[in-house]
Structure 1
Amino acid sequence: MNMQQRPPAVDKALAWPGMQTLIASHGRALVLDSLRAALELWRSGEISDQPTLVATVQQRIERTLAPSMRPVLNLTGTVLHTNLGRAPLPPEALAAMTAVAAGASNLEYDLASGQRGDRDAHVEDWICRLTGAEAATVVNNNAAAVLLVLNALASRREVVVSRGELIEIGGSFRLPDIMARAGCKLREVGTTNRTHARDYAEAVTARTALLLKAHTSNYQVQGFTTSLDEAQLAGIARAQGVPLVVDLGSGSLIDMQALGLPAEPVVGRILAQGVDVVTFSGDKLLGGPQAGIIAGRAELISKIRNSPLKRALRCDKLTLAALEAVLRLYADPDTLVQRVPTLRLLTREPAAIRQTAEALLPSLRGWAGAGFEADVCDVYSQIGSGSLPLETLPSAALRLSSISSNKRTRSRELRELAERLRQLPTPVIGRIADDSLLLDCRCVEDPEPLRQQWEAGA
């Protein structure tokens, strides 16, 4: 290695004006770490001058400081996409989170009495008002809600469940596993496709703690089937002297059919059928932050709230602030759909979605390049997150297809194009299907930021 190729000493490089500027902005420790890594590139011959070294150090610092979690544009066609954060929050929820995030708040402080308060108080009254429940509590997600309810009400005792409802949802969440972790014993009744009233009644013994019904939100059993609804199960539970718990999964506070959407169990109606406790998610059809909501009889909710496990699963102040803000929006049914983004996206008219796609088509063609054909096509969106898995919503998508005649080449080019979309300043997430890359525009209410990205990179 000649003298020109030899890297500078660390101390000497740190004294360069460019390095001093970086130190002033980011601190010596971070610059030093990045410099040492960049000097290895100099030793390997990839860098050979001062300006390039400074620029490399700056780039490494920027990559290190770049946030890992970033906003993306959801063009997958799945509105409540678990991997993309599920429900988008309304401005009211964002404002509520910001208001309590910067400093102290009355999270567990009763301003009226000056004594310690209960963090559930910020949302409990609204949950009860909107569902008809006597009491409610909240934890960090619905899986936690099920775990807490089972542990608080059925530890070391039996829980009766239909075999057709032993669900598994995303992330390998299996109901039998949750029951085991909760310290209770599973008592299966019926068969996969048929469970009768006598199956439940005959399974109840002195060791039975409760009956559990799990809403099969991510699949359906069709054909030769029998199952009991909540009212029938509630009657059996009362006759046997045990509570009935229903895990609704997605959960909805309103009649989705009134919005032209597929039917989904309404929490208030389920409780009105005699169910003692329901659990459901906050970040699915409700349109709020990630949370597990538990509502029902006051006596049972008190036991659940007083469980030692509750503290480990409780929500923080940001979640509670956002959830309260979203629940307040439900007080005005006339403006609800427009103010809750999830409901607004789910109810968008196909014609409006197609108009968005057509407005974006010219800029997409320019960005994709001559190797691809682009048009607008009819597609079907999904609600997502296990909500109504067999139901779809008419939508429109931008469709990109490779002009190559070779199938393997087309497949490779589509994957590379999807990667290019993910590398945009605001990454765009679509889906590959039917030898095309589809960009469903249901969740694109304002096409301008996307159009600007494509035109800047064309």
Structure 2
Amino acid sequence: MNPLRSLPKIDKLLDNHIFKDCNPALLAPLVKNAVKDVRKDILSGKATSYEEAALLDEILKTYLKILSPSLVPLINATGVIVHTNLGRSCLSHTLFERAKKTLSGYTNLEYDLEKGCRGERYAHVSYHLKALLGVEDVLVVNNNAAAVFLILNTFAPNKESIVSRGELVEIGGSFRVPDVMARSGTQLIEVGTTNKTRIDDYEAAINENTALLMKVHRSNFSIEGFSEEASMEEITLLAKKKGLLDYYDLGSGYIDTLPYGLSYAEPSLLRILAKSPSLVSFSGDKLLGGVQAGIIVGNKKLIKRLKSNQLLRMLRVDKLTLSLLEETTKAYLANETNLIPTLFLLNRSVTDLELIATHLQKQIGIEKCNIIHSQTFVGGGTLPNRPIPTVALQIEGDAKTLERQFRQEGLIGRIESDFFLLDLRALLPESEDELIKCCKRVLGC
């Protein structure tokens, strides 16, 4: 008998009771494709028959997989607080609930309640950021790379932008400053050397086609030893002297004092802005501890020109980003930085981590893990070569096997010296109980 004749009709499969709760519009093409694949296997000789129960089961698995979320919650036990692969900065439940009241309905995103006419979407978060940072004006775009592009495209198209050779950085995802500058329409002029660039190098390169003096913060690597760089203050003074624009691509930066001596290793936003640079841009989801955004601050007239660039329409942020960023900014203003997870996790003392480790060890089983002291990093392309102290649970067993087993449970740890560690530096308090459950499932305790 020809095995093709035994293939069921599409309608018969669709009517099977196993699919009674499925959406027919999504299910029908899956059934058709499954039958087509079986037919192809029979014709090619890969199969001589099929089992209907197995076919139905495979179709249902595909259906459920499509409806399952691709983004899933994870427990971060890597020790890296601003983990780029795990979503960078976490959002506070409290701040999210505050924003949700605005996000769940209509809002005055672009409506002026006083005048009864169209308003500006950037006015909301700008009001709070100006109060926090003491700047003339603010513009928010979807990330800092977009901020770099918009600034260069607005002020230096077909003109020259001067940058130190030692600051032509590449960050994650192959984002390279020289490539972005080229795309923006400006002409890159490199000055100085990899390890030494002085303010005189900038001045010597200025000509009638120069539009902008740019400084880029080397946030994800460091140059040590025989090195020198021009400060942003020097660049700002030179730009004003020559009638040019000065711009600092800060990338990260922080507002509150950082613990463990990190304040000396990372530029302070407030200290930089006190020197009145023309424009500064930085990320909303690194050390600021908010959502992904590129925040541009500085001279009001310059911000106005940025707002008139037609490219802004492609780079603008929605009410979700603006509302969450506004709540983060208000937390700084209200001295509620403990509600910002990035700062809360970073400021936890080693003693606090030891107490957490002791509690977890008792719950998991002392014979299954040891408490150790180690070092970790903030992450997010910030503070390279600046380790911070941490405490971890060292799990007994083959490190690679444990890493895989815990990862399959949604718990991401790290391997150090051939041991699998659950680092507690970046562990959110609400994740502690789930970590215990994961350990018991994996370790059988």
- Shared topology, TM-score over 0.5? yes
Distance in 2 (alpha carbons) for counterparts of 1:45 and 1:332? 71
Aligned-residue offset at 1:48: 4.4
Is the Cα–Cα contact under 8 Å of residues 169 and 176 in structure 2 kept in the other structure?
Answer: yes
The amino acid across from 1:450 in the alignment is L
Distance in 1 (alpha carbons) for counterparts of 2:113 and 2:18? 53
How do 1:16-27 and structure 2 match up within 5 A? 16-19=16-19, 21=20, 25-27=21-23
The amino acid across from 1:360 in the alignment is L
Q: Which residue of 2 aligns with 1:353?
A: 353
From 294, 297, 304, the equivalent of 2:296 is 294
Cα 1:156–1:96, aligned 2, differ >3 Å: closer, same or farther? farther
Aligned-residue offset at 1:2: 11
Q: 1:376-412 deviations in whole A, cap 9, x for unaligned?
A: 221112111111111111111122354xxxxxxxxxx
Q: 1:71-91 deviations in whole A, cap 9, x for unaligned?
A: 111111111011111000112
From 400, 406, 416, the equivalent of 1:433 is 416
Is the Cα–Cα contact under 8 Å of residues 267 and 278 in structure 1 kept in the other structure?
Answer: no
Is the Cα–Cα contact under 8 Å of residues 110 and 120 in structure 2 kept in the other structure?
Answer: yes
From 284, 289, 293, the equivalent of 2:286 is 284
Q: Which residue of 1 aligns with 2:395?
A: 400
Q: 1:154-181 deviations in whole A, cap 9, x for unaligned?
A: 1111111111111111111111111111
Confirm or deny that 1:455 pairs with 2:440: yes
How do 1:10-49 and structure 2 match up within 5 A? 10-19=10-19, 21=20, 25-35=21-31, 48=51
How do 1:198-217 and structure 2 match up within 5 A? 198-217=200-219
Aligned-residue offset at 1:269: 1.7
How do 1:99-178 and structure 2 match up within 5 A? 99-178=101-180
Unmatched 5+ residue regions in structure 2?
A: none
DSSP 3-state at the match of 1:383: coil
Q: Which residue of 2 aligns with 1:408?
A: none
DSSP 3-state at the match of 1:255: coil
Is the Cα–Cα contact under 8 Å of residues 401 and 435 in structure 1 kept in the other structure?
Answer: no
Q: Name the Cα RMSD after superposition.
A: 2.7
Is the Cα–Cα contact under 8 Å of residues 394 and 420 in structure 2 kept in the other structure?
Answer: yes
Q: Which residue of 2 aligns with 1:406?
A: none
Aligned-residue offset at 1:419: 2.2
Is the Cα–Cα contact under 8 Å of residues 217 and 248 in structure 2 kept in the other structure?
Answer: yes
Deviates more, 1:108-117 or 1:347-356: 347-356
From 305, 309, 326, the equivalent of 2:311 is 309
Is the Cα–Cα contact under 8 Å of residues 395 and 421 in structure 2 kept in the other structure?
Answer: yes
Deviates more, 1:316-325 or 1:56-65: 56-65
Distance in 1 (alpha carbons) for counterparts of 2:438 and 2:358? 16
Aligned-residue offset at 1:35: 4.3
Distance in 2 (alpha carbons) for counterparts of 1:236 and 1:13? 75
Cα 1:104–1:38, aligned 2, differ >3 Å: closer, same or farther? same
Residue correspondences, number = 432
Aligned-residue offset at 1:92: 4.0
Q: 1:306-357 deviations in whole A, cap 9, x for unaligned?
A: 1111111111110001000100001123x32x11111000111122223323
DSSP 3-state at the match of 2:286: coil
Q: 1:197-255 deviations in whole A, cap 9, x for unaligned?
A: 22112211111111111111111111112212222222211211112111111121223
Confirm or deny that 1:377 pairs with 2:372: yes
Is the Cα–Cα contact under 8 Å of residues 261 and 347 in structure 1 kept in the other structure?
Answer: no
TM superposition score normalised by structure 1: 0.87
Cα 1:56–1:200, aligned 2, differ >3 Å: closer, same or farther? closer
Q: 1:410-432 deviations in whole A, cap 9, x for unaligned?
A: xxx533332222222xx111222
TM superposition score normalised by structure 2: 0.89
Aligned-residue offset at 1:151: 0.8
Distance in 2 (alpha carbons) for counterparts of 1:383 and 1:72? 18
The amino acid across from 1:271 in the alignment is L
DSSP 3-state at the match of 2:90: coil
Distance in 1 (alpha carbons) for counterparts of 2:352 and 2:50? 52
The amino acid across from 1:392 in the alignment is P
Aligned-residue offset at 1:111: 1.3
How do 1:320-331 and structure 2 match up within 5 A? 320-331=322-333
Distance in 2 (alpha carbons) for counterparts of 1:384 and 1:99? 32
From 33, 39, 58, the equivalent of 2:60 is 58
Cα 1:114–1:365, aligned 2, differ >3 Å: closer, same or farther? same
Identity %: 39
Aligned-residue offset at 1:49: 6.6
Confirm or deny that 1:421 pairs with 2:406: yes
Distance in 2 (alpha carbons) for counterparts of 1:266 and 1:140? 22
Deviates more, 1:222-231 or 1:113-122: 222-231
Distance in 2 (alpha carbons) for counterparts of 1:262 and 1:364? 36
Cα 1:289–1:45, aligned 2, differ >3 Å: closer, same or farther? farther
DSSP 3-state at the match of 1:308: coil
Deviates more, 1:34-43 or 1:239-248: 34-43
Deviates more, 1:126-135 or 1:25-34: 25-34
Aligned-residue offset at 1:59: 3.0
Distance in 1 (alpha carbons) for counterparts of 2:351 and 2:324? 32
The amino acid across from 1:417 in the alignment is L
DSSP 3-state at the match of 1:26: coil
Is the Cα–Cα contact under 8 Å of residues 152 and 303 in structure 1 kept in the other structure?
Answer: yes
Q: Which residue of 2 aligns with 1:319?
A: 321
Cα 1:27–1:303, aligned 2, differ >3 Å: closer, same or farther? same
Is the Cα–Cα contact under 8 Å of residues 217 and 249 in structure 2 kept in the other structure?
Answer: yes
Distance in 2 (alpha carbons) for counterparts of 1:319 and 1:330? 17
Distance in 2 (alpha carbons) for counterparts of 1:320 and 1:80? 20
Distance in 1 (alpha carbons) for counterparts of 2:57 and 2:103? 36
The amino acid across from 1:431 in the alignment is R
Q: Which residue of 2 aligns with 1:77?
A: 79
Confirm or deny that 1:389 pairs with 2:384: yes
Is the Cα–Cα contact under 8 Å of residues 103 and 323 in structure 2 kept in the other structure?
Answer: no
Is the Cα–Cα contact under 8 Å of residues 363 and 454 in structure 1 kept in the other structure?
Answer: no
From 256, 261, 275, the equivalent of 2:277 is 275
